[in-house]
Structure 1
Amino acid sequence: MGSRKEFVKKINEAFAKCDTKFIADNVTDDIQWKIVGEKTISGRHAFENALGRMKLGGPMQITVVDFISGKDKTVVEGIVEIKIEPGKIKEYAFCDIYVFKDSDTTKFKELRTYISQIKKQK
């Protein structure tokens, strides 16, 4: 399971650096990205388009808080800081569930993302 955890760390680093090629190279053709409460992105082409839009904000800071790994799923919890415009950053808490094609591969077939903006306390 250690190698799966290391792989998911690399995926999160790729998200932070906007390395869309690395991410896209590690999904199945029938990928489902379920952004819970918002939308589902289906198929490699739509997934790659969504990743391309991610680049507009530029690199982001991702802090991983916890990993839970099982036979064909890995769960990541963390905080992401996204640049909205120069000098303005928003923070979000996230939980990503990666569902892998099988227990012997690093290609994931589903990504379920739960995300919520962290409001600043007054």
Structure 2
Amino acid sequence: MERDKKAILEQANAAVSSGDNEKFLSFCTEDTEWNFVGDQILKGKDAVRKYMKSAYSEPPQFDVEHMIAEGDYLTAIGRISLKNPEGKIIQYSYCDVWRFEDGKMAELKAFVVAHA
């Protein structure tokens, strides 16, 4: 089952990296909740869709270094590159803790730090 969670996240990340946010969202529950610790909380697919449209004006690129699965949870540690509103690519390190429900991503707790 742990392999399934890893495969789901890999497929979801591949979708968003190719610019297909809707395919990414198909891996999420309708009431998915994303908590960017210390920043904002998004509740539901519509809120996530709106965030992705703004934050991912250019598809992000992921470098997942480690994935650790246990029970309903999958933790992904890595780097992500995003274009900021000024058009500059910013590198971030992240630790995402996903909770799965019925084979879909139901909750995210994201710890994200920009590189200086």
Task: Return the alpha-carbon distance in structure 2 between the equivalents of residues 62 and 71 of structure 1.
Answer: 24
Aligned to 1:76: 76
Distance 1:54 1:17, change over 3 A: farther
Q: Which runs of 5+ in 1 are unaligned?
A: none
What is the Cα deviation at residue 59 of structure 1?
A: 2.1
Q: Deviations over 1:14-65 (max 9, x none)?
A: 2322321112112112111101100101122212211222331x12321111
Task: Return the alpha-carbon distance in structure 1 between the equivalents of residues 8 and 15 of structure 2.
Answer: 11
SS in 1 for 2:64: strand
TM-score by length of 2: 0.87
Aligned to 1:107: 104
SS in 2 for 1:59: coil
SS in 1 for 2:56: helix
Task: Return the alpha-carbon distance in structure 2 between the equivalents of residues 44 and 59 of structure 1.
Answer: 18
Q: Which runs of 5+ in 2 are unaligned?
A: none
SS in 1 for 2:66: strand
Query: Between Structure 1 and Structure 2, how many residues are aligned?
Result: 114
Structure of higher CA gyration radius: 1
Percent sequence identity over aligned pairs: 25
C-alpha contact (below 8 Å) 2:56/2:83 kept by paired residues: no
Q: Deviations over 1:95-115 (max 9, x none)?
A: 1111011xxx32111011110
C-alpha contact (below 8 Å) 2:35/2:108 kept by paired residues: yes
What one-letter code is carried by the residue in structure 1 that aligns with 2:3? Answer: G
Aligned to 1:34: 35
SS in 1 for 2:68: strand
